[in-house]
Amino acid sequence: MTNTYSTLLIFGTSHAGKSTLATRIGKDLGWPALSTDKMGRHPGRPWPSVRKQVAEFYSKLSEETIYWFLRVHHENMWPHLKDRISTASQSGSGCVIEGSALRPEFIAEMQLPRTLTVGLYASNAFLRQRMEAESLYSDQDEPTKQLIEKFIRRSLTDNDNIVEAATRYGLPLIDVSDPSFLGVEADRLVEKLRQ
């Protein structure tokens, strides 16, 4: 019997839980879990240690420019990602692909009958708290806090835009702020992917 789905796409902003969910589902199904972060180079986070080029990126550019660069990076990656998604969907062997480069507006244009897509989101307050905790924000010096703050604001802008686009295109969204999110949603998605 052929499964209804052979590919799962998970989109959302930084720190929404995409990698955690993808790893869990991939393990449960025996499918590889691929991250768009590893498919394309980008400046990355300004922690745990700040690399010189990352510090320069976040300190010298405006918040608007930083977000613009993120969007351009995602647009440039899309042809490659689209090919990877199409190949995974057609192969039928099973694959989970996650990442913020999976933009709702790009995904919505694809005709992928064997692909299940979900987006992860949370309130900006929840995401801010998560990023501040992971970056050890309160322990950082002032220059590092400023770099982290720009990353956080970029990610919150991205969260707002992702939610708006997913809603506009009718793509399903999962609120990750519920503590039971990982167990409940992972189990639900695994069950659906096994059909």
In angstroms, what CA-CA distances link 6 with 9, 71, 80, 166?
Answer: 10, 28, 19, 22
User: Hey, CA dihedral for 127, 152, 157, 169, is it positive or negative?
Assistant: negative
Sign of CA dihedral 57, 60, 64, 68: negative
Does the pLDDT value for residue 1 go beyond 60? no
Q: What local confidence, expressed as pLDDT, does residue 45 receive?
A: 64
Closest CA to 8 of 176, 160, 167, 186: 186
Whether pLDDT at 96 is above 80: yes
Report pLDDT for 47.
66
13 vs 57, residue with greater confidence:
13
Identity of the residue numbered 91: S
Q: Is omega for the bond preceding 48 within 30 degrees of 0, making it cis?
A: yes
- Paired tokens of 170: 């009718």
Task: CATH number of the domain at 69, please.
Answer: 3.40.50.300
- Does residue 28 fall inside a structural domain? yes
Of all residues in the chain, what percent are helix, strand and coil, respectively (each to 5)? 60, 10, 30
Residue 66 lies inside a defined structural domain of this protein: yes
pLDDT score of 181:
84
Q: What is the pLDDT of residues 110-122, one digit of tens each?
A: 888 789 999 999 9
pLDDT value of residue 25: 97
Q: How many domains does the chain have?
A: 1
d(CA 79, CA 55) in angstroms, rounded, equals 29
Q: Are 52 and 147 in contact (CB under 8 A)?
A: no
How many Å separate Cα 117 from the centre of its chain? 12
Q: What's residue 113's pLDDT? A: 79
Token pair for residue 144? 């590092």
- Domain assignment present for residue 141? The answer is yes
Domain that holds residue 40: 7-193
Q: Is residue 2 part of a domain?
A: no
Sign of the C-alpha dihedral, residues 142, 144, 145, 151? Answer: positive
Within a domain: 1: no
Give residue-wise pLDDT tens across range 133-190.
Answer: 999 999 999 999 999 999 999 999 999 999 999 999 999 999 999 888 888 999 999 9
- Asked if the structure places residue 13 within a domain, the reply is yes
